[in-house]
Amino acid sequence: MPQAHCCKNITLLQICHTKFSGVLLALVHTYTMRFSLTKTKDKPMTDTYNTKLTEALKTIRSNGKKYYNKVQKTLIMVIEHASKHGDYENVTRLYKALGGGTRKEAFVVYVKAFTPLNFDKDNQKFKKAGKKSKRTWMVTEAKQVNFWDFTVEAEVKALDIEKLLESIVKRNDKATTEGREVKNIELIPAIQAILTK
Protein backbone atom coordinates (compact mmCIF):
# COMPACT_ATOMS: atom_id res chain seq x y z
CA MET A 1 0.00 0.00 0.00
CA PRO A 2 1.50 3.44 -0.91
CA GLN A 3 2.67 5.51 2.06
CA ALA A 4 0.28 8.43 1.48
CA HIS A 5 -2.81 6.18 1.54
CA CYS A 6 -1.55 4.39 4.63
CA CYS A 7 -1.28 7.71 6.52
CA LYS A 8 -4.74 8.77 5.32
CA ASN A 9 -6.25 5.46 6.51
CA ILE A 10 -4.60 5.68 9.93
CA THR A 11 -5.94 9.19 10.39
CA LEU A 12 -9.41 8.03 9.38
CA LEU A 13 -9.18 5.10 11.81
CA GLN A 14 -8.04 7.33 14.65
CA ILE A 15 -10.93 9.72 14.05
CA CYS A 16 -13.41 6.84 13.96
CA HIS A 17 -11.97 5.31 17.13
CA THR A 18 -12.50 8.49 19.11
CA LYS A 19 -15.99 9.26 17.75
CA PHE A 20 -17.73 5.93 17.11
CA SER A 21 -18.30 2.53 18.65
CA GLY A 22 -16.12 -0.54 18.02
CA VAL A 23 -18.61 -1.99 15.49
CA LEU A 24 -18.40 1.01 13.22
CA LEU A 25 -14.64 1.03 13.64
CA ALA A 26 -14.45 -2.55 12.37
CA LEU A 27 -16.59 -1.65 9.32
CA VAL A 28 -14.37 1.32 8.47
CA HIS A 29 -11.24 -0.79 8.90
CA THR A 30 -12.65 -3.49 6.56
CA TYR A 31 -13.61 -0.87 3.96
CA THR A 32 -10.17 0.78 4.00
CA MET A 33 -8.40 -2.56 3.68
CA ARG A 34 -10.61 -3.53 0.70
CA PHE A 35 -10.05 -0.10 -0.87
CA SER A 36 -6.28 -0.30 -0.51
CA LEU A 37 -6.17 -3.82 -2.00
CA THR A 38 -8.35 -3.01 -5.04
CA LYS A 39 -6.85 0.43 -5.74
CA THR A 40 -4.76 0.53 -8.90
CA LYS A 41 -1.10 1.25 -8.46
CA ASP A 42 -0.17 4.96 -8.76
CA LYS A 43 2.03 6.13 -11.63
CA PRO A 44 5.64 6.61 -10.62
CA MET A 45 6.51 10.14 -9.47
CA THR A 46 8.73 10.84 -12.52
CA ASP A 47 5.95 10.03 -15.01
CA THR A 48 3.56 12.41 -13.28
CA TYR A 49 6.26 15.08 -12.98
CA ASN A 50 7.29 14.80 -16.64
CA THR A 51 3.68 14.94 -17.80
CA LYS A 52 2.96 18.03 -15.70
CA LEU A 53 6.21 19.67 -16.82
CA THR A 54 5.49 18.99 -20.50
CA GLU A 55 1.99 20.46 -20.13
CA ALA A 56 3.34 23.52 -18.31
CA LEU A 57 6.00 24.15 -20.98
CA LYS A 58 3.42 23.88 -23.76
CA THR A 59 1.21 26.40 -21.95
CA ILE A 60 4.11 28.80 -21.38
CA ARG A 61 5.18 28.56 -25.01
CA SER A 62 1.63 29.05 -26.24
CA ASN A 63 0.89 31.90 -23.85
CA GLY A 64 4.24 33.52 -24.65
CA LYS A 65 3.46 33.56 -28.37
CA LYS A 66 -0.03 34.90 -27.72
CA TYR A 67 1.37 37.58 -25.40
CA TYR A 68 4.04 38.80 -27.82
CA ASN A 69 1.59 38.79 -30.74
CA LYS A 70 -0.89 40.81 -28.66
CA VAL A 71 1.84 43.33 -27.76
CA GLN A 72 2.86 43.62 -31.43
CA LYS A 73 -0.71 44.17 -32.64
CA THR A 74 -1.29 46.76 -29.93
CA LEU A 75 2.00 48.50 -30.72
CA ILE A 76 1.11 48.78 -34.40
CA MET A 77 -2.34 50.07 -33.42
CA VAL A 78 -0.93 52.84 -31.18
CA ILE A 79 1.78 53.79 -33.68
CA GLU A 80 -0.82 54.04 -36.43
CA HIS A 81 -3.10 56.12 -34.20
CA ALA A 82 -0.21 58.41 -33.23
CA SER A 83 0.81 58.90 -36.87
CA LYS A 84 -2.71 60.04 -37.77
CA HIS A 85 -3.63 62.04 -34.66
CA GLY A 86 -0.32 63.03 -33.03
CA ASP A 87 -1.29 61.33 -29.77
CA TYR A 88 1.70 59.21 -28.81
CA GLU A 89 1.00 58.87 -25.05
CA ASN A 90 -0.40 55.38 -25.66
CA VAL A 91 3.03 54.18 -26.78
CA THR A 92 4.26 55.02 -23.28
CA ARG A 93 1.19 53.41 -21.72
CA LEU A 94 1.89 50.21 -23.65
CA TYR A 95 5.57 50.28 -22.65
CA LYS A 96 4.64 50.61 -18.98
CA ALA A 97 2.14 47.74 -19.29
CA LEU A 98 4.79 45.30 -20.54
CA GLY A 99 5.62 42.39 -18.28
CA GLY A 100 8.99 41.99 -16.59
CA GLY A 101 10.18 39.29 -18.99
CA THR A 102 9.38 41.32 -22.10
CA ARG A 103 12.26 42.60 -24.21
CA LYS A 104 11.70 46.25 -23.31
CA GLU A 105 14.97 47.45 -24.86
CA ALA A 106 13.98 45.83 -28.15
CA PHE A 107 10.60 47.57 -27.86
CA VAL A 108 12.32 50.97 -27.39
CA VAL A 109 14.73 50.42 -30.31
CA TYR A 110 11.82 49.37 -32.53
CA VAL A 111 9.72 52.43 -31.65
CA LYS A 112 12.68 54.76 -32.22
CA ALA A 113 13.40 53.14 -35.60
CA PHE A 114 9.86 53.39 -36.99
CA THR A 115 8.62 56.62 -35.37
CA PRO A 116 9.85 60.15 -34.67
CA LEU A 117 9.81 59.34 -30.94
CA ASN A 118 12.68 59.19 -28.48
CA PHE A 119 12.67 57.45 -25.13
CA ASP A 120 13.31 59.43 -21.95
CA LYS A 121 14.91 56.87 -19.60
CA ASP A 122 14.71 59.12 -16.55
CA ASN A 123 10.95 59.58 -16.86
CA GLN A 124 10.30 56.21 -18.54
CA LYS A 125 8.28 57.70 -21.37
CA PHE A 126 8.35 58.40 -25.08
CA LYS A 127 8.47 61.95 -26.38
CA LYS A 128 8.56 63.59 -29.78
CA ALA A 129 12.04 63.92 -31.27
CA GLY A 130 13.44 67.42 -31.74
CA LYS A 131 12.62 69.60 -34.75
CA LYS A 132 15.95 68.73 -36.42
CA SER A 133 15.07 65.04 -36.49
CA LYS A 134 14.26 63.68 -39.95
CA ARG A 135 12.54 60.54 -38.64
CA THR A 136 8.92 60.02 -39.67
CA TRP A 137 6.08 57.64 -38.94
CA MET A 138 6.84 54.43 -40.85
CA VAL A 139 3.79 52.33 -40.00
CA THR A 140 3.89 50.22 -43.18
CA GLU A 141 7.52 49.28 -42.52
CA ALA A 142 6.82 48.58 -38.85
CA LYS A 143 4.13 46.08 -39.86
CA GLN A 144 6.74 44.03 -41.72
CA VAL A 145 8.76 43.01 -38.64
CA ASN A 146 7.98 42.12 -35.02
CA PHE A 147 9.65 44.20 -32.34
CA TRP A 148 11.28 41.14 -30.71
CA ASP A 149 12.82 40.09 -34.05
CA PHE A 150 14.02 43.61 -34.89
CA THR A 151 17.08 43.40 -32.63
CA VAL A 152 19.20 40.49 -31.51
CA GLU A 153 19.29 39.87 -27.79
CA ALA A 154 22.82 40.25 -26.46
CA GLU A 155 24.56 37.04 -25.53
CA VAL A 156 25.43 36.74 -21.86
CA LYS A 157 29.20 36.51 -21.53
CA ALA A 158 31.28 35.34 -18.61
CA LEU A 159 33.03 37.99 -16.58
CA ASP A 160 36.80 37.73 -16.99
CA ILE A 161 38.38 39.13 -13.82
CA GLU A 162 41.88 39.16 -15.32
CA LYS A 163 40.75 41.31 -18.26
CA LEU A 164 38.88 43.56 -15.85
CA LEU A 165 42.03 44.06 -13.75
CA GLU A 166 44.11 44.71 -16.89
CA SER A 167 41.56 47.32 -17.90
CA ILE A 168 41.89 49.03 -14.53
CA VAL A 169 45.68 49.23 -14.90
CA LYS A 170 45.39 50.62 -18.46
CA ARG A 171 42.80 53.19 -17.41
CA ASN A 172 45.04 54.23 -14.52
CA ASP A 173 48.02 54.63 -16.88
CA LYS A 174 45.96 56.74 -19.29
CA ALA A 175 44.56 58.95 -16.52
CA THR A 176 48.02 59.45 -15.05
CA THR A 177 49.45 60.36 -18.48
CA GLU A 178 46.62 62.88 -18.99
CA GLY A 179 47.30 64.37 -15.54
CA ARG A 180 43.90 63.45 -14.11
CA GLU A 181 43.42 62.63 -10.45
CA VAL A 182 43.21 58.91 -9.70
CA LYS A 183 41.49 57.92 -6.48
CA ASN A 184 42.71 54.87 -4.54
CA ILE A 185 45.89 54.73 -6.64
CA GLU A 186 47.56 52.77 -3.83
CA LEU A 187 45.64 49.69 -5.05
CA ILE A 188 47.42 49.62 -8.43
CA PRO A 189 50.61 47.82 -7.19
CA ALA A 190 48.46 45.09 -5.61
CA ILE A 191 46.51 44.68 -8.85
CA GLN A 192 49.74 44.50 -10.86
CA ALA A 193 51.10 41.88 -8.44
CA ILE A 194 47.99 39.76 -8.97
CA LEU A 195 48.39 40.01 -12.75
CA THR A 196 52.06 38.91 -12.70
CA LYS A 197 51.34 35.70 -10.75
In tens, the pLDDT along 136-157 reads 999 999 999 999 888 876 677 8
Q: What's this model's pTM, rounded to 2 decimal places?
A: 0.54
Stretches in the chain below the pLDDT threshold 50: 1-40
Pairing of the two strands 125-128 and 117-120? antiparallel
Is the Cα torsion angle 98, 100, 101, 104 positive or negative in sign? Answer: positive
pLDDT in tens, 90-120: 999 999 998 887 889 999 999 999 999 999 9
Which letter does DSSP use for residue 129 in this model? P
Share above pLDDT 70 across residues of the chain, in percent, rounded to a whole number: 75
The count of residues in the chain is 197
